[in-house]
Amino acid sequence: AFGGFSEGAKSEEKLNNLPVSVPVASQVLHAVGIAWAIKYRQKDDVVMTFLGDGGTSEGDFHEGMNFAGVYQAPVIFVCQNNQWAISVPRSKQTHSKTLAQKSLAYDIPGIQVDGNDVLAVYVAAHEAVQRARSGGGPTMIECVTYRMMMHTTADDPKRYRTEKEVEIWRKRDPLSRFQKYMKDKGLISHDQIEALEEEIKAEIQAAVDHAEDQMKAGGDPLDMFEHTYAELSPNLIEQQEELKREIAAIKEKNHG
Protein backbone atom coordinates (compact mmCIF):
# COMPACT_ATOMS: atom_id res chain seq x y z
CA ALA A 1 0.00 0.00 0.00
CA PHE A 2 2.94 2.34 0.66
CA GLY A 3 4.58 1.70 -2.72
CA GLY A 4 7.79 0.46 -1.12
CA PHE A 5 8.80 3.89 0.12
CA SER A 6 10.32 3.95 3.61
CA GLU A 7 8.50 7.14 4.59
CA GLY A 8 5.16 5.40 4.24
CA ALA A 9 1.91 6.89 2.98
CA LYS A 10 2.68 10.52 3.60
CA SER A 11 0.25 13.24 2.58
CA GLU A 12 0.79 16.93 2.08
CA GLU A 13 1.61 18.59 5.39
CA LYS A 14 -0.95 21.34 4.87
CA LEU A 15 -3.72 18.71 4.79
CA ASN A 16 -2.96 17.44 8.31
CA ASN A 17 -3.88 13.87 7.39
CA LEU A 18 -2.37 10.92 9.23
CA PRO A 19 -1.18 7.77 7.40
CA VAL A 20 -3.66 4.93 6.99
CA SER A 21 -3.88 2.69 10.05
CA VAL A 22 -4.66 -0.88 8.98
CA PRO A 23 -5.72 -2.45 12.35
CA VAL A 24 -9.46 -1.80 12.66
CA ALA A 25 -10.37 1.20 14.88
CA SER A 26 -6.78 1.84 16.03
CA GLN A 27 -7.02 5.26 14.38
CA VAL A 28 -9.54 6.25 17.05
CA LEU A 29 -6.83 6.15 19.72
CA HIS A 30 -4.47 8.18 17.55
CA ALA A 31 -7.15 10.81 16.94
CA VAL A 32 -8.03 11.12 20.62
CA GLY A 33 -4.36 11.45 21.55
CA ILE A 34 -3.87 14.27 19.07
CA ALA A 35 -7.07 15.97 20.25
CA TRP A 36 -5.91 15.78 23.87
CA ALA A 37 -2.57 17.35 22.85
CA ILE A 38 -4.47 20.14 21.07
CA LYS A 39 -6.47 20.88 24.19
CA TYR A 40 -3.36 20.70 26.39
CA ARG A 41 -1.65 23.26 24.15
CA GLN A 42 -4.79 25.43 24.19
CA LYS A 43 -5.20 25.49 20.42
CA ASP A 44 -8.55 25.71 18.62
CA ASP A 45 -7.91 22.88 16.15
CA VAL A 46 -10.33 19.95 15.87
CA VAL A 47 -9.64 16.30 15.03
CA MET A 48 -11.98 14.16 12.92
CA THR A 49 -11.58 10.40 12.68
CA PHE A 50 -13.48 7.93 10.50
CA LEU A 51 -14.41 4.31 11.14
CA GLY A 52 -16.90 1.75 9.88
CA ASP A 53 -19.75 0.01 11.66
CA GLY A 54 -17.43 -2.93 12.32
CA GLY A 55 -15.00 -0.63 14.09
CA THR A 56 -17.53 0.09 16.84
CA SER A 57 -17.11 -3.49 18.06
CA GLU A 58 -13.40 -2.98 18.71
CA GLY A 59 -11.99 -2.19 22.14
CA ASP A 60 -9.94 0.70 20.73
CA PHE A 61 -13.16 2.48 19.79
CA HIS A 62 -14.56 2.29 23.31
CA GLU A 63 -11.25 3.17 24.98
CA GLY A 64 -10.93 6.20 22.74
CA MET A 65 -14.51 7.30 23.36
CA ASN A 66 -14.09 6.94 27.11
CA PHE A 67 -10.86 8.98 27.19
CA ALA A 68 -12.35 11.66 24.93
CA GLY A 69 -15.41 11.91 27.16
CA VAL A 70 -13.43 12.14 30.39
CA TYR A 71 -11.04 14.81 29.11
CA GLN A 72 -13.49 16.52 26.74
CA ALA A 73 -11.07 16.25 23.85
CA PRO A 74 -11.95 18.21 20.67
CA VAL A 75 -12.50 15.15 18.49
CA ILE A 76 -15.32 14.03 16.21
CA PHE A 77 -15.97 10.33 15.63
CA VAL A 78 -17.56 9.77 12.21
CA CYS A 79 -18.96 6.27 11.82
CA GLN A 80 -19.57 5.39 8.18
CA ASN A 81 -22.23 2.76 8.77
CA ASN A 82 -22.24 1.07 5.36
CA GLN A 83 -24.18 -1.98 6.66
CA TRP A 84 -21.36 -4.47 6.08
CA ALA A 85 -18.03 -5.16 7.83
CA ILE A 86 -16.70 -7.30 4.98
CA SER A 87 -19.38 -10.06 5.15
CA VAL A 88 -20.69 -9.31 8.66
CA PRO A 89 -24.06 -7.47 8.48
CA ARG A 90 -25.00 -4.58 10.73
CA SER A 91 -27.52 -6.86 12.52
CA LYS A 92 -24.69 -9.12 13.70
CA GLN A 93 -22.52 -6.22 14.83
CA THR A 94 -24.64 -4.92 17.69
CA HIS A 95 -28.10 -5.16 19.23
CA SER A 96 -28.28 -1.37 19.63
CA LYS A 97 -30.96 0.35 17.58
CA THR A 98 -28.35 2.84 16.37
CA LEU A 99 -24.59 3.07 16.49
CA ALA A 100 -24.79 6.73 17.46
CA GLN A 101 -26.34 5.84 20.81
CA LYS A 102 -23.12 4.09 21.86
CA SER A 103 -21.77 7.56 22.63
CA LEU A 104 -24.31 8.04 25.42
CA ALA A 105 -22.43 5.66 27.72
CA TYR A 106 -19.55 8.14 27.66
CA ASP A 107 -21.78 11.22 27.98
CA ILE A 108 -20.83 12.26 24.45
CA PRO A 109 -23.44 13.78 22.10
CA GLY A 110 -24.35 11.37 19.32
CA ILE A 111 -26.37 11.91 16.17
CA GLN A 112 -27.49 9.63 13.34
CA VAL A 113 -27.84 11.19 9.88
CA ASP A 114 -28.57 10.04 6.34
CA GLY A 115 -25.03 9.45 5.13
CA ASN A 116 -26.19 9.76 1.51
CA ASP A 117 -27.52 13.28 2.13
CA VAL A 118 -24.63 15.69 1.54
CA LEU A 119 -26.29 18.60 3.33
CA ALA A 120 -27.32 16.53 6.36
CA VAL A 121 -23.75 15.33 6.82
CA TYR A 122 -22.43 18.87 6.39
CA VAL A 123 -24.77 20.33 9.00
CA ALA A 124 -24.00 17.60 11.53
CA ALA A 125 -20.25 17.95 10.98
CA HIS A 126 -20.38 21.75 11.13
CA GLU A 127 -22.24 21.72 14.45
CA ALA A 128 -19.84 19.13 15.88
CA VAL A 129 -16.80 21.18 14.86
CA GLN A 130 -18.28 24.34 16.37
CA ARG A 131 -19.03 22.48 19.59
CA ALA A 132 -15.52 21.06 19.85
CA ARG A 133 -13.89 24.37 18.99
CA SER A 134 -15.88 26.20 21.67
CA GLY A 135 -14.84 23.74 24.39
CA GLY A 136 -17.89 21.48 24.19
CA GLY A 137 -15.87 18.30 23.75
CA PRO A 138 -16.35 15.34 21.42
CA THR A 139 -19.26 14.27 19.21
CA MET A 140 -20.15 11.03 17.46
CA ILE A 141 -21.83 11.15 14.04
CA GLU A 142 -23.29 7.99 12.53
CA CYS A 143 -23.68 8.33 8.76
CA VAL A 144 -26.07 5.66 7.51
CA THR A 145 -24.92 4.68 4.04
CA TYR A 146 -24.09 1.57 2.00
CA ARG A 147 -21.01 -0.11 0.56
CA MET A 148 -21.89 -0.48 -3.11
CA MET A 149 -18.79 -2.40 -4.17
CA MET A 150 -16.89 -5.36 -2.77
CA HIS A 151 -14.81 -4.91 0.41
CA THR A 152 -11.61 -5.74 -1.49
CA THR A 153 -10.82 -7.31 -4.84
CA ALA A 154 -10.63 -10.65 -3.00
CA ASP A 155 -14.21 -10.28 -1.80
CA ASP A 156 -17.34 -11.63 -3.52
CA PRO A 157 -20.36 -9.79 -2.04
CA LYS A 158 -22.81 -11.94 -4.04
CA ARG A 159 -22.13 -14.71 -1.53
CA TYR A 160 -23.71 -12.82 1.36
CA ARG A 161 -26.06 -10.13 0.01
CA THR A 162 -28.67 -9.83 -2.71
CA GLU A 163 -28.61 -7.71 -5.84
CA LYS A 164 -32.06 -6.42 -4.85
CA GLU A 165 -30.57 -4.90 -1.71
CA VAL A 166 -27.82 -3.24 -3.73
CA GLU A 167 -30.33 -1.78 -6.19
CA ILE A 168 -32.38 -0.26 -3.37
CA TRP A 169 -29.33 1.63 -2.18
CA ARG A 170 -28.20 2.50 -5.70
CA LYS A 171 -31.30 4.68 -6.01
CA ARG A 172 -30.11 6.61 -2.95
CA ASP A 173 -26.78 7.53 -4.52
CA PRO A 174 -25.58 10.76 -2.82
CA LEU A 175 -24.04 12.27 -5.95
CA SER A 176 -27.19 11.80 -8.03
CA ARG A 177 -29.37 13.18 -5.23
CA PHE A 178 -27.23 16.25 -4.66
CA GLN A 179 -26.90 16.83 -8.40
CA LYS A 180 -30.70 16.78 -8.76
CA TYR A 181 -31.06 19.11 -5.77
CA MET A 182 -28.66 21.65 -7.27
CA LYS A 183 -30.33 21.48 -10.70
CA ASP A 184 -33.80 21.91 -9.17
CA LYS A 185 -32.54 24.96 -7.26
CA GLY A 186 -30.98 26.42 -10.40
CA LEU A 187 -27.51 26.26 -8.88
CA ILE A 188 -25.94 24.26 -11.70
CA SER A 189 -26.74 23.45 -15.34
CA HIS A 190 -26.44 20.26 -17.35
CA ASP A 191 -23.52 21.71 -19.32
CA GLN A 192 -21.70 22.64 -16.11
CA ILE A 193 -22.17 19.11 -14.78
CA GLU A 194 -20.74 17.59 -17.96
CA ALA A 195 -17.77 19.96 -17.90
CA LEU A 196 -17.10 19.16 -14.25
CA GLU A 197 -17.26 15.42 -14.89
CA GLU A 198 -14.76 15.72 -17.74
CA GLU A 199 -12.45 17.79 -15.55
CA ILE A 200 -12.60 15.20 -12.76
CA LYS A 201 -12.01 12.29 -15.16
CA ALA A 202 -8.93 14.06 -16.52
CA GLU A 203 -7.62 14.70 -13.00
CA ILE A 204 -8.10 11.05 -12.02
CA GLN A 205 -6.45 9.79 -15.20
CA ALA A 206 -3.48 12.10 -14.62
CA ALA A 207 -3.07 10.68 -11.11
CA VAL A 208 -3.25 7.09 -12.43
CA ASP A 209 -0.69 7.86 -15.15
CA HIS A 210 1.64 9.44 -12.59
CA ALA A 211 1.39 6.41 -10.28
CA GLU A 212 2.06 3.99 -13.14
CA ASP A 213 5.04 6.06 -14.31
CA GLN A 214 6.47 6.00 -10.78
CA MET A 215 6.26 2.21 -10.69
CA LYS A 216 7.88 1.89 -14.13
CA ALA A 217 10.68 4.20 -13.02
CA GLY A 218 11.95 1.95 -10.27
CA GLY A 219 9.27 0.24 -8.25
CA ASP A 220 10.03 -3.38 -7.47
CA PRO A 221 7.02 -5.48 -6.43
CA LEU A 222 9.32 -7.71 -4.37
CA ASP A 223 10.01 -4.78 -2.05
CA MET A 224 6.71 -5.55 -0.33
CA PHE A 225 8.47 -8.43 1.42
CA GLU A 226 11.21 -6.19 2.84
CA HIS A 227 11.37 -4.13 6.04
CA THR A 228 8.42 -5.85 7.77
CA TYR A 229 9.75 -9.04 9.34
CA ALA A 230 13.30 -9.96 10.38
CA GLU A 231 12.56 -13.43 9.01
CA LEU A 232 9.77 -14.21 6.58
CA SER A 233 7.24 -16.84 7.61
CA PRO A 234 6.91 -19.98 5.43
CA ASN A 235 3.69 -18.75 3.80
CA LEU A 236 5.27 -15.39 2.92
CA ILE A 237 8.33 -17.13 1.47
CA GLU A 238 5.96 -19.18 -0.68
CA GLN A 239 4.22 -16.00 -1.87
CA GLN A 240 7.57 -14.34 -2.53
CA GLU A 241 8.74 -17.24 -4.69
CA GLU A 242 5.45 -17.29 -6.59
CA LEU A 243 5.78 -13.58 -7.34
CA LYS A 244 9.37 -14.07 -8.53
CA ARG A 245 8.16 -16.69 -10.99
CA GLU A 246 5.37 -14.43 -12.24
CA ILE A 247 7.77 -11.51 -12.74
CA ALA A 248 10.21 -13.75 -14.60
CA ALA A 249 7.41 -15.04 -16.84
CA ILE A 250 6.25 -11.50 -17.65
CA LYS A 251 9.80 -10.40 -18.49
CA GLU A 252 10.30 -13.43 -20.73
CA LYS A 253 7.02 -12.73 -22.52
CA ASN A 254 7.86 -9.06 -23.06
CA HIS A 255 11.38 -9.71 -24.31
CA GLY A 256 10.89 -13.11 -25.91
Confidence at residue 16, expressed as pLDDT on a 0 to 100 scale: 86
- Catalytic annotation present for 151: yes
Q: Quick one: which of 56, 109, 113, 53 has its CA closest to 85?
A: 53
For residues 116-137, give the mean pLDDT: 97
- Catalytic annotation present for 147: yes
Q: Which of 40, 122, 133, 160 is catalytic?
A: 160
Can you give the pTM of this predicted structure? 0.80
Assign 136 to helix, strand or coil: coil
Residue 143 or residue 252, greater confidence = 143
Confidence at residue 251, expressed as pLDDT on a 0 to 100 scale: 83
d(CA 133, CA 146): 30
For residues 113-142, give the mean pLDDT: 98
Q: Please count the CA atoms within 13 angstroms of the CA of 143 that sit on its side-chain side.
A: 25
- Catalytic annotation present for 71: no
CATH classification code of 1-172: 3.40.50.970
Looking only at the bridges linking them, the beta strands covering 88-89 and 84-85 are: antiparallel
d(CA 91, CA 55): 14
Extents of the domains making up the chain: 1-172, 220-256
Assign 47 to helix, strand or coil: strand
Does 255 score more than 80 pLDDT?
no
Instruction: Give tens-digit pLDDT for 26-53.
Output: 999 999 999 999 999 999 999 999 999 9
Give Cα separations from 168 to 82, 192, 208, 219, 245 (angstroms): 13, 28, 31, 42, 44
Confidence class of residue 17 from pLDDT cuts 50, 70 and 90?
Answer: confident
Confidence class of residue 250 from pLDDT cuts 50, 70 and 90?
Answer: confident
Confidence class of residue 237 from pLDDT cuts 50, 70 and 90?
Answer: very high
Confidence class of residue 4 from pLDDT cuts 50, 70 and 90?
Answer: very low
Confidence at residue 199, expressed as pLDDT on a 0 to 100 scale: 98
Confidence class of residue 256 from pLDDT cuts 50, 70 and 90?
Answer: low
Confidence at residue 1, expressed as pLDDT on a 0 to 100 scale: 44
Q: Which of 151, 161, 172, 177 is catalytic?
A: 151
